[in-house]
Structure 1
């Protein structure tokens, strides 16, 4: 599973960082960082990553 971030849609609510803190974080400029950008999320983190996609209030996250 891969997760893509639409940075234009992201409003920085941070629900994804709460649902999947190993996958998502904010950098010093307040931009969302996907620790697995361009790579598959490890199997043990896919449930948390799916939850993060589901809880984003502005649909800034998409999974494949």
Structure 2
């Protein structure tokens, strides 16, 4: 999972940091100090909680797609 911060939307409320201080680092002016970050394993829930708490909606959660596409078992197969 990754988080993406939209710098133009961040208003410096710092609410995200209250829920996930190890993920959301703020700069000296109180704005998020990152643009794209891979969330460390085990901190996904905190990342989502912090993003959901953002009143400016400046944080997006990017979930990684599966590495391979699964084919449904009821899909007819063509004979070669």
Task: State the partner residue of 1:3.
Answer: 3
Let me know the Cα RMSD of the aligned residues.
Answer: 1.4
Name the residue aligned to 2:51: 53
> Whose strand fraction is larger, Structure 1's or Structure 2's?
1
Matched ranges for 1:19-58 at <5 A:
19-34=19-34, 38-58=36-56
Cα distance 1:47–1:10, how it changes in 2: closer, same or farther (>3 A)? Answer: same
Q: Does 1:16 align with 2:19?
A: no
Tell me the TM-score normalized by structure 1.
Answer: 0.84
Count how many residue pairs are aligned between Structure 1 and Structure 2. Answer: 62
Unaligned runs of 5+ in 2: 63-80
Q: TM-score, length-normalised on structure 2?
A: 0.69
Distance 1:4 1:43 in 2: 17
Q: Write 1 or 2 for the structure with the bigger share of helix.
A: 1
